[in-house]
Every structure is written in structure tokens, then in C-alpha cells.
Amino acid sequence: MMGPDAGGAQLAATSKLNLRGLGPLRQAPESKAGFYLVLAYLLFEFGRPQEIVPGLRAIPFGTGLSVLILLNVLMSGKLDFSRTQTKLWIVLFGVMAVHVPLAVNNFWALMTFKDMFLLFCVYLGIITFVNSLERMMTVMKLWMGIHGFLAIMGIVKGGLGIGAWMGDENDFCMVMDMAAPFGYFLFFGAQGMLQKLKYLGMLGSFILGAMASLSRGGFIGLASVGAYCWYRSPKKLNALILVVVAVVFMLILAPDKYWDEVSSSTSEATMAIGTGAERLYTWGIGVEMFYSNPIIGIGQSNFPWTFDRYEGGQNFLGRSIAGRQAHSAWVTLLSELGLAGILIIGGMLFQCYKDLKFVRTKFTPAESRQKHGQTIRAKEDIRVYLAMAMEGSLIGFSVSGVFISILWYPSLWIMLALVVALRNISETQSEGGPLGVVRAQYPQGSSLPRYGERPVSRL
């Protein structure tokens, strides 16, 4: 008879043999709920079906989805504060929290703090759950589809956006300016004529949407995006042809009213008594706010509520214009958050530039250079095109933002999240993470797939 110890040893040995026969244990599949919530947020915040379907506007989709995303991030155990942008978010909240009890209008300071916290929840969701190239491409498909829909709606509505924070024609044009680089660079990254025509058509719709808005500041933003796209283009001659086609497209389709609006941007009437003069007067008051509160500013969303305090007996053409916005994202930043805000948000944008440069450099090796067992031709990897598109999008926001108050809109903050996610994905591959399966699908010496050529991996 065997003793209990001997029996236990035999059972353990048998178990080991059985486990070896079963092969390596599989990890439980990652939940896709957080990723789908991110997609839903993008649909409702940017596509805004609630502006079209009766009754949906009463449902706070943005708030509910943001909270659910945060809960999923916390439950995933992947909450990560290592990125510079994420750390700067925390510093930004510290500055904004100070203003809640001190600002002239505490309510708007608190509401903006709340809105930014909800955006931070989505930011965390994007950098956590958009964690593979396949998922990034899914986001890009949805992103492009939403903005194509917005372009059509804007054209149909005569240059007005779908509603909410995109309702104004200038705000709508900013959204089109930020979308245009994606249509442009994904055109170069796509494989096959059908895919290229799709992105060329989207690029055309974004340009048409921007023109329909008749936004003069938006035109300057679009021009800056066009210049950047040509500068970063992998094939300068092809890019020049595409830019010329786009310009001819604009010249043919743009009404005379559009060019009249653009040409009036610096006219004597505009700069003396028109919107240009009014903007300059407003910006001057914003600078006075900064001089009086240089460290942390007057508080988020408090520009309209403190305007009259800094006019000091001045007026514009015999009347006060207190209560209006700064009509510039950067004057808003300067006056409302002071030097602290400039350093925080400037630091975020600078780190985004470094992240995108990292991606462009990493995936644009010399044509004959071997990398991870693959020959990757210059700028063939889709991540390079995504990096250039995101950089161009941030330029479109930055230049358009000179003329409109868009600092607290979702556009900038969601783009920051996409940049961080792309950097994370690019580093994951170099460490043999989830994207290792992509390399295994293609033999040595072959290139990674371009966008639209074939699926990259499973979700």
C-alpha cells in the first residue's frame, strides 16, 4: 500500500504530464467592451446622431459613455500615467481646480473642469484600449466615416455644422481642416485604385465643406494644412500634382462669394471697423487680462465674464462688447490659464511632436534596411502616414485656433489621445508585443501591408 504522501506525489506527477500534453495555457481573451465604448463615444460626440434623431438630444451620451470608459479603464488594471501628456493632464487639473472657488464665475469654471475631466476619461480609454494597429485602423475608419458625413451635412446646410459645438461655421471649418490631412496621407498609404479613390473623394469632401463655411480663418488653417501636407509628402512630384488638382478643384467649385470673403480678411474696412478690428480689440483686452494675472490667469471659461473689468473705460466703436469670447484659442489660453497653461498645453503639444517624430523615424528606414526581419521601403508602413496625418491635424487646429475660441472643444484633446496611442502601439511592436503576429504573417524580405491591402490582425 502507498502512503498518502506517495499517492499525492504520483497525482502531482500525473497532473504535470497531462498539462504538458495540453500544450501552453492560453490567456483569457481581452475584453473588447472598453474599445467599443471608445468607438461609441466618437460616434456620439463627433457624428452626433442625437442632433438628427428626435428625442436623442435629451440623453447625455457623452457623459454616460465617458464614465463607463473610465470604469472599464479602472477594471482593466492597465491605468498608466507614464506618458508626459498624461502627467500634464494632472497638472492642468490642479491649476483648473484652483480657479473653481476663485474665479469671477465659479459655475463656468466648475462646468469646464467637469467637461475636461470627462474628456480625460475618454483620453485614458483611447490610450488604454486602442492598443493595436488593428484597433487604430478601426478607429481611423470610423473617424474618416464620421467626418465624411459631417462634410456632407455641412455642405447641405450651407457651411453650418451639424450642431452643438460644431454648429458655427468657423468651428465646422476647423473640424474639416483637422480631417483633411487624414484624407491626404491615407490616400498615399492606401493600396489599390479603389482605396485611393475613396480617400481622394473624402479629401475633396473635406475641402468642399471648408469652402462652404466661408470661414476666412478656416481658409488660413486649410492653407497651412496644404503646405504641411506637401512638405511631408513621401513623393513630392505626385504630391505637387495632387495639391494642384485640389487648388483647381477649389477654383472651379468655390463660388465668387467665397473668394470675396477670403480677400476681405485684410481689407481696410475689415481691419478698421469690421470683424478684424473687433478681434484685435478683443485680443488686446485678453492681453490685459494676462498682464494682470500672469501666473494662472483669470480662470477657465471666465473670459466673457471678466471682460468688462479690463476694458477700463475703453470701447469698440462707442460700445462695449463684454460677454463675448476671445475668438482665439491661444488668447483664451493666455488670459484664462496664464503662464501655467502655456507651459502645460505647450508641453503636451511639444511631446506630441516628439512622439510623432519617433514614429516617423522608426518606421521610415532606408529602403534596403532590414528591420525586424522585414525590408520596409521608405514611408511604406501605415504608421508613418498616420503620424504625418495627426501632425497635420494638430497644425490645422493650431492655425485655425488663432481666430476662433476652440480650446475647450473635444477636437484637440481627442487628437492628443490618438497620438499617445500611436506611440504606444509603435513601441509595443518593437518589444515583440501583440503586433508580433503581424510580422509572423509575412515572410522575411516582404513589406508590412499598406492600409486597405489586407487585414493586419484580429481585434
Using CB atoms within 10 A of its CB, is residue 433 exposed (0-12), middle (13-18) or buried (19+)? Answer: middle
Condensed to tens digits (0 to 9), the pLDDT of residues 195-224 reads: 889 998 999 999 999 988 888 888 899 999
Segment 408-419, tens digit of pLDDT: 999 999 999 999
Q: How many helices (H) and strands (E) does the chain have?
A: 18, 2
- Window from 32-41, 218-227, 415-424 with minimum mean pLDDT: 218-227
Give me the mean pLDDT over the 102-119 stretch: 96
Note the pLDDT of residue 123: 98
DSSP one-letter string for 264-300: GGG-HHHHHTSHHHHHHHHHHHHHHHHHHSTTT-S-T
Three-state DSSP at 447 gives coil
Query: pLDDT: is 43 or 276 the higher one?
Result: 43
- Name the pLDDT band for 445 (thresholds 50, 70, 90): very low
- CA 146, 151, 156, 162 torsion-angle sign: positive
H or E, element range at 189: helix 169-189
Q: Which of 356, 362, 426 is nearest to 394 (CA)?
A: 356
Mean pLDDT of 19-40: 70
Rounded CA gap, 203 and 144, in Å? 10
Statement: residue 100 has pLDDT above 80 = yes
Asked if 38 and 126 count as a contact pair (C-beta separation under 8 A), the reply is yes
* More confident of the two residues 164 and 365: 164
DSSP character at residue 165 = G
**pLDDT confidence bin for 255, thresholds 50/70/90:** low
List pLDDT tens digits, range 147-159: 999 999 999 998 8
Q: Which three cell numbers stand for residue 174?
A: 476647423
Q: Burial letters for 260-283: b for 16+ Cβ neighbours within 10 Å, e otherwise?
A: ebbebbeeeebeeeeebebbebbb
Tell me the pLDDT of the chain averaged across its residues. 82
**Residues 6 or more apart whose Cβ sits within 8 Å of residue 448:** 374, 376, 380, 381, 382, 438, 439, 442
433 band by pLDDT with thresholds 50, 70 and 90: very low
